[in-house]
Amino acid sequence: MNQQVPSPDPATPYRVLARKYRPLTFSGLIGQDIMVRTLTNAIETDRLAHAYLLTGVRGVGKTTTARIIARALNCIGADGNGGPTPDPCGACEHCVAITEDRHMDVLEMDAASRTGIDDIRDLIAGTSYRPVSARYKVYIVDEVHMLSGAAFNALLKTLEEPPEHVKFIFATTEARKIPVTVLSRCQRFDLRRVGEETLASYLADIAAKEEADIGQRALALIARAADGSVRDALSLLDQALAHGAAGETEGRYDEDQVRAMLGLADRTRIFDLFEAVMKGEVKQALEILEEQHDAGADATIVLSDLLEVTHWLTRVKIAPEVADDISVPEAERVRGKKLAESLAMPVLARAWQMLLKGLAEAQQAPNPLQAAEMVLVRTAYAAELPAPAEIIKSLQRTGEAPMQTPAPKPDAPGLAPPPSSTAGDGVKAAGEDAGLAPPSEPVATGPSPVEPKPVGPKPVGNAPSALGSPGVSLALSPEPPPVPEAPVPETAEPEPAADAPPRPDAPRPGSFAEVVELFAAKREAVLQGHLLSEVHLVRFEPGRIEFRPGAHAPRDLANRMGELLSRWTGERWVVSVSAETGAPSLAEQAESLMRKRRKEAARHPLVRAALETFPGAKITEVRDIAPADGDGDADSGTPEGEDG
């Protein structure tokens, strides 16, 4: 199929498979069809770039491709009269010399060991001389990203305008570390990882040439372990052929031998282990893990296999036809469908998160086996916990949470009548490995704090309203609560100042909260922050503000406020500093209100139940929820369809 180096004579030293079966032509490259087609067309149409950059993970063929390009450019054919060709003959003096790494005009440089500017200067000096015998002088620089900044800078001019007889080919696994000035001067090709099926088929051809009887499942294991790298796959195949003793018949290498060599767990036992963990059978799970570890499986690889099973079952849960793929073993198809049907999506998602976190712990632990055992214990016990949505529904069915919000006493002065609708959209708790999802139907959360109805504009930004709301939404988290934005101070809108009439389109803030909102609208974020946290209002009326500055307020805060307000409104504003105590800042008012609302919410039965279910959780935020359509109350202070 592919043109390969001829098999060596028995008297010659053994060569590893990665060198013995290195492709000599573009047709021998596997999994790189786009690059092969582009380079083939470029050579056939004589559209040759002066510099190529080959990127990709280790072992996908970057250096091999560079050598094939060098042969293609310098091949003269078996008769000595040929030109550049995408199919080098492999017989002319140039093809043979390049294959044997002894051609004087094809120079390879390892940038990992020669990173300095002096090395690049030597390279640049050589470009001024014509090739000794070849058509082009080709410079192959491997791991080019290791060059120093000075070396890259020295290369730029020559790289942009090299002599017509010079070609540069760079190879790297870290294209992001190469300066963009170099990238822009090269024609770039990204070599892809080779797919498992393609790689397994390639390994089967190599095994046949080596007269090794190795099963398809064993080759599939090697291809998966290679992770898209052809060189790694050939190295593992080489190791398997040397490692495996005779199986059932002489010269046969089976799946179990390859699995033992790679330190992999038995796939069937992995499903047994996963099923035991999901059933909460901790003892059985630990016994299976110990059995696989004794058989040679690495503990971290077992956790990786469990993650792979979790991912595959999730895909089967979403798209059941995935399990019908004929490439999947029958045992896995049958057990996979059954497990996917019996496990809920929240359970699979929780298992994925815990196993993923546990894998990182096991990789860093002094004893990976002990860490893996603790991961299985945690996951097994968590698997017995009900899903968060089931907890909410269970609490609703028990009747512990009242479904109606109690009305305030009729003689309470200044209180708006409460809405009659049910409230809340559920509770969300964030613990170490679990969180409460919103329930499928509304949950009553008890009375929300009710404050006197303010007179004035709408609160600034997302500031909490002082009004009573039809319900609250609570967020529980082990994190400290964020600082809320400012509430609306309870100030009545005064009569406008008796100054010259402002422009019709000019803003007219009627309260200090509207002043803060105006600064936000004008994108004065720094000043807005000072107004929220460092201003203790003493007096306010349109055109005049008097306040006591906080300890961290800028010295020129009053002057800047007056200047900007006068410019924006078209009226004269007088902003002065006072020695009086003044009111708490808007941020302090918001924090005080939020503390009060958290205390109110913490007394609710549903919230108490959530806190007890998830130890360590905290109430960090209380949000007002708009009433459902048709449930709005004209006296509630919250317009229908709008958050309170």
SS (H, E, C) 461-500: CCCCCCCCCCCEEEEECCCCCCCCCCCCCCCCCCCCCCCC
The torsion angles phi and psi of 106, rounded to 5 degrees, stand at -115, 105
Residue 141 has what pLDDT? 93
Residue 3 has what pLDDT? 46
Residue 116 has what pLDDT? 87
DSSP 3-state of 104:
coil
Signed CA dihedral, 289, 295, 300, 303: sign only = negative
Instruction: Calculate Rg over the CA atoms of the chain.
Output: 37
Nearest to 191 by CA among 212, 207, 175: 175
Residue 286 has what pLDDT? 93
Q: Are strands 213-214 and 187-190 parallel, antiparallel or unpaired?
A: unpaired
**Model confidence pLDDT, tens digit, residues 284-340:** 999 999 988 887 788 898 999 899 899 989 988 888 887 777 667 766 777 888 888
- Below-70 pLDDT ranges, the chain: 1-12, 244-252, 263-265, 326-327, 330-331, 387, 394, 396-504, 626-644
Fold annotation for 267-385 = Zinc Finger, Delta Prime; domain 3 (1.20.272)
Give the whole-angstrom CA distance, residue 497 versus residue 505. Answer: 17
Residue 54 has what pLDDT? 94
Q: Which residues of 18-50 are buried (b: 16+ CB within 10 A; e: fewer)?
A: bebbbbbbbebbbbbeebbeebbebbeeeebeb
Q: Hey, how many other C-beta atoms are within 10 angstroms of the C-beta on 472?
A: 26
Give the whole-angstrom CA distance, residue 188 versus residue 177. Answer: 14
For 108-141, the DSSP string reads EEETTT--SHHHHHHHHHHTTSPPSSSSSEEEEE
Residue 221 has what pLDDT? 84
Residue with tokens 């200044």: 414
Nearest to 520 by CA among 454, 462, 464: 462
Strand partners, 355: none
Fold annotation for 31-190 = Rossmann fold (3.40.50)
Q: What residue spans define the domains of the chain?
A: 31-190, 196-262, 267-385, 512-582
Residue 172 has what pLDDT? 93
Signed CA dihedral, 394, 397, 401, 407: sign only = positive
Q: Are strands 427-429 and 51-55 parallel, antiparallel or unpaired?
A: unpaired
CATH number of 196-262: 1.10.8.60
Considering the entire predicted model, what is its pTM? 0.52
